[in-house]
Amino acid sequence: MRLGVLDVGSNTVHLLVVDAHPGARPLPAYSHKAELRLAELLDEDGAINEAGVHRLVRTIQEAMQVAEDKGVEDVLPFATSAVREATNGEEVLRHVTEETGVTLQVLSGEDEARLTFLAARRWLGWSAGRLLVLDIGGGSLEIAYGLDEDPDVGVSLPYGAGRLTGSGLRADPPDPEDVRALRRQVRAGIARVVSDFSRYGTPDQIVGTSKTFKALARIAGAARSAEGLYVQRELSRKKLEEWVPRLARMNAQERAALPGVSEGRARQLLAGALVAEAAMDLFGVETLEICPWALREGVILRRLDHLPVP
C-alpha cells in the first residue's frame, strides 16, 4: 500500500510518501517539503501568531493535495514540539481540523524519542546491540538507549537547533558571548540526564539522526547524499570540535556555501553543532554513525506493525 506521513515540525512541513507492507522495508516514493519555521512564528506569549496559523493551514492543504495526486491511501499526520509547546496549540489544532479535515496527532517528546529509536533499530538491526540514539530537531533534542525495539530510557530536551538559534543566537554572525552562554546552557541541561542513561551500561553503537547530524557529518567529510543510503557516514567528535569555532565565526550566507548545508538550515547550524558537540562529549562518544531513518520512518514502521500480515 502507499502511505504518507505528514510531519509538522518546528522547521518544515514534510510529506513523505512510501510504498510499504508489513514485513518489508518501506520504499520512498516521493517527498514534499515546505519551510514553515513555526518556532519563529510565535508571539511574545508563546502562541503561534495568526499569520503562522494561516500559513500552516495552507501548507497542510497543499501537502494533502500532493498526497492525493500521488495515490496515497492513508496519511499519518503528526506534529512535534512547535505545536506541542505553543500556548494556543489546542486552538491551532482545532483550526487545522476545521479548515483541512486533517487531525494532527501531537507527539510527546518521549514519543519522538521512542519512534526515532525504533527507526534506528530497524535500520541497523539486532547486531548493533545496545543502541544510543541522538536526534537534534528544530525544537528539541531526543536521546534514547536500549537493547530492544522499545528503548529502556528516552528523554526529550528543549535544545532544538531552531529554538536555540531564535532564543540565543540572534545576531549574524553570532556574538561570541552569546555562543559561550548557549554552550553553558546546553551542557548543563544535557549533563542533568546523563546519569539516567549511564546506569544501563555502555552502548555498543551510537547513532545520530536527522538533518543537523547529516549536515555536520557532510561538512566534516562524510559522503554526499547522492552516493546513496547504504554508504556508511560517520561524525567524529574531534572533527566536530574543530568545526564549531569555525561555524561561530561565519554568518549564515557563509555556512550555506558549505557542502550539505541548505540555505534554510544555515542559520541554525551553529546551535545544532553546539548541541551535538555537548551530547557527544558528555556521553563520551568519540564517533557516531549517521542513520538515514528517523522519526518519520518510525511513525510508518509503527503503523505497519499494526496492519494484518497478508
Tell me which residue of 201, 5, 278, 274 sits closest to 119, measured CA to CA. 5
List of residues 6+ apart from 235 with CB closer than 8 A? 208, 213, 216, 217, 220, 222, 276, 287, 288, 290
pLDDT tier, 308 (very low <50, low <70, confident <90, very high otherwise): low
User: Three-state SS for 216?
Assistant: helix
- Model pLDDT, residue 310: 56
Q: Whole-model pTM? A: 0.94
Q: Is the peptide bond before 173 cis (omega within 30 degrees of 0)?
A: yes
| Interval 207-215 mean pLDDT | 96
CA atoms within 13 A on the CB side of 17: 18
- Model pLDDT, residue 309: 58
Structural domains in the chain, sorted by start = 2-106 (3.30.420.40), 125-296 (3.30.420.150)
Above 80 in pLDDT, residue 42? no
Plot region of 220 (φ>0 → left; ψ -120 to 50 → alpha; else → beta): alpha
Above 80 in pLDDT, residue 171? yes
Residue range 237-270, pLDDT digits in tens? 999 999 999 999 999 999 999 999 999 899 999 9
Q: What is the CA angle 138-14-24, rounded to 5?
A: 110
Q: Average pLDDT of the chain? A: 94
- Model pLDDT, residue 39: 73
Q: Amino acid letter at 53? A: V
Strands of the 205-209 sheet, one edge to the other: 153-157, 141-146, 131-136, 205-209, 287-291, 234-236
- Model pLDDT, residue 269: 97
DSSP H or E stretch at residue 212: helix 210-219
Residue range 286-298, pLDDT digits in tens? 999 999 999 999 9
| Interval 27-45 mean pLDDT | 86
Q: Amino acid letter at 225? A: S
Give dist(CA 137, CA 119) in Å, integer.
15
